[in-house]
Amino acid sequence: MSHPEPLITADNLGLEVAGRQLLQNITLALQPGEIVTVIGPNGAGKTTLLRLLLGLTRASSGEVRRRPGLRIGYMPQRLQIDASMPMSVRRFLQLGQAQLDREQARMALQRVGAAELADASLADLSGGEMQRVLLARAASRKPQLLVLDEPTQGVDVGGQGEVYRLIAGLRDQLGCGVLLVSHDLHLVMAATDKVLCINQHICCEGHPEQVSRDPAYLELFGDKVAPYTHQHNHQHKLSGDVVGDHSCDHEQPHHPPEHRERK
């Protein structure tokens, strides 16, 4: 299957800080329309990897290539907001993006089902509402690539699935690629095209169902999760493509990745 030019690629990326190897041999490519999720234990280097890919941290080895002029929307893991500073949601969306007019701010909120929050005070938002607003902000410039670091942080368990549905909706509406870091293993397995399991290096990667059965994944997370399965009325080839022309009751990856295992 021929792929379009990736939005972003990393080739043998490594980062060493003060004699400590935080990441090594990270190679990946993210295609338009694809949702790729980075998982791994605490301290595995997930946020560090995002920062390298975004160009916020410089790699010690290897190379990152971004499509020239790539528009990126970034939702960081933590955002320091001074709750005592009164600011409306609309004003927050416009911070640093003065070109975003009232109507565009409304549209950005509408994309995540939060149009009614435009005049609310940022300090009054619930955890789930705040994550919607952060998503709306990341997506407000119609990025070609959305980068989301733990997008369900502060969202109660019942609302987490909804956040992943919103992300898939943004991917569909904007046609963007999505790169996200998550700890919500089971939810992620159902909501992503490809999983990258890292612990300083890539432990395993591929289609969620394949990764969830990988010995390297089970060694890291086996005590936390049951293997992920979805209702199958078809079979996959090794490439991830569906055998025959069965329709599928889950969303297929746009560009099913080859499964590779690296330890």
Ligand X SMILES: Nc1ncnc2c1ncn2[C@@H]1O[C@H](COP(=O)(O)OP(=O)(O)OP(=O)(O)O)[C@@H](O)[C@H]1O
Applying CB under 6 A, the residues found at the interface with ligand X are 17, 22, 40, 42-48
Q: Is 142 exposed, middle or buried (0-12, 13-18, 19+ CB in 10 A)?
A: middle
Q: State the nearest-atom distance from the C-beta of 204 to ligand X, in Å.
A: 16
Which of 74, 92 has the CB closer to ligand X? 74
- The least CB distance from residue 40 to ligand X, in Å, is 5
State the minimum distance, in angstroms, from the CB of residue 22 to ligand X: 4
Work out the angle between the directed axes of helices 157-174 and 102-111 (0-180°, nearest 10).
Answer: 120
Query: With respect to ligand X, which residue has the nearer C-beta, 129 or 184?
Result: 184
Chain-centroid distance of CA 130 in Å reads: 17
Give whichever of 41 and 113 is closer to ligand X, judged by the CB atom.
Answer: 41
- Shortest Å, Cβ 57 to ligand X: 7
H/E stretch holding 54 reads helix 46-54
For the CB of residue 49, give the shortest distance to ligand X in the complex, in Å: 7
**Which phi and psi angles does 13 have, rounded to 5°?**
-70, 135
Residue type, 166: L
State which residue, 17 or 248, has the beta carbon closest to ligand X: 17
Q: How far is the CB of 17 from ligand X (least distance, A)?
A: 4
Cβ of 221: how many Cβ atoms within 10 Å? 16
Residue 224 in tokens: 């936390």
- Closest to 180 (Cα-Cα) out of 199, 165, 164: 164
Which CB sits closer to ligand X, 16 or 249?
A: 16
Closest to ligand X by CB, 50 vs 130, is 50
d(CA 153, CA 149): 9
Sign, CA dihedral 122-123-128-134, equals positive
